[in-house]
Amino acid sequence: MSLGTSSQNPSNGGTAATVARRLADLYARDGFWRERWRRAGHVRAPESLEGLAPTTISDIAGDERACPPYGSWRAASSFVRVGVPARDSALEMLVFTTEDLEAEARVGAMALAAAGLAPGGRETNAFAGGLATPGSLVVGDAAQALGALDMPVGPIAAAGPRDTAFDFWQRVKPDFAVLDAAGVRDLASLLAEKKTTAAGLGIRAAALVTDLRDDAPSVPDLDVPTTRIVGLAEAFSLLAACDPHGIFVAPGSEVVLEVQDGELLVTTLRHSAALVRYAPGVRARLVEAPVGRSQDCAFVLV
């Protein structure tokens, strides 16, 4: 790697071969990646990430505008689900193949499990149809992949939906909640209004989902363990859960993480959102993965 760059992923031939196949597949396609690498002097597919210039959201958004509606930077042309980014983004849309949804479910299940959702659990969420990431499009898939029951209630900011959600929760007693920052604030307000607690509804733990680029939000304490999960809207909605030491762990089977000059770089290995040394604009440093996750990638935000 170049000076100032560190990388993290299982250091075995399997990962190197997977990266090489990923780069070869992208180079074989007309469009963004082959043109980008040819301009950089590559006459054949790169064999590794070594020396490849980081990619930014302005790069892929420019390609999306030049090749509407989906852009040529993505690694597939057949999509089964389309969403619109809820946060301000240069991208026009978020799209998923069937394989992407399966990957989202796998990755999301790991993040939710790390946050405390157990098989057989009853998970509820109060999303409006999109998070800072497209989380609400896949939270149910992730919960079901974990063997849990998903019980969405929709936004609870207004009085009518709040009362409906509260009545529902009193009856079904969810034991886990997945919320964005607004959802945490709305739930805390509802609990105060009803003179009860999250535990009083049966909730024993919660996940707070934000975009990787967002600062940790200031939210009320729900008086139950609450774990932050970060997503990257361009690819994974529920990418990594934060442990008590501030370490985020992402699945090494899905991504390669690098840090160059203090900035996180992400390479997706199978997702149709083909990101190669993608710089989302996040300062980070790589750390050792926790025990039991040695094949995964770990980082802290700085």
- pLDDT value at position 237? 87
User: What count of other Cβ atoms lies within 10 Å of the Cβ of residue 14?
Assistant: 10
- pLDDT value at position 87? 63
Asked if pLDDT for residue 86 goes beyond 80, the answer is: no
**Cα gap 44→120, rounded to integer Å:** 49
- Section 242-270 average pLDDT: 96
Of 243, 283, 279, give the one whose Cα is nearest residue 111.
Answer: 243
- pLDDT value at position 93? 81
> Lowest mean pLDDT: which of 6-15, 192-201, 205-214?
6-15
**Cα gap 276→52, rounded to integer Å:** 8
- Section 65-83 average pLDDT: 89
Q: What is the pLDDT of residues 134-163, one digit of tens each?
A: 455 678 889 999 999 999 998 899 999 999
- pLDDT value at position 134? 47
User: What count of other Cβ atoms lies within 10 Å of the Cβ of residue 53?
Assistant: 13
- Mean pLDDT taken over the chain: 90
pLDDT band of residue 133 (cuts 50, 70, 90) is very low
- What's the pTM? 0.92
Asked if pLDDT for residue 2 goes beyond 80, the answer is: no
What domains are defined for the chain?
A: 54-301 (3.40.50.12780)
**Cα gap 258→225, rounded to integer Å:** 30
- pLDDT value at position 4? 63
User: Could you tell me where the DSSP H helices lie in 126-180?
Assistant: 139-145, 159-172
- Section 185-204 average pLDDT: 96
Of 254, 297, 265, 295, give the one whose Cα is nearest residue 56.
Answer: 265
- pLDDT value at position 130? 45
Q: What is the pLDDT of residues 166-175, one digit of tens each?
A: 999 999 999 9
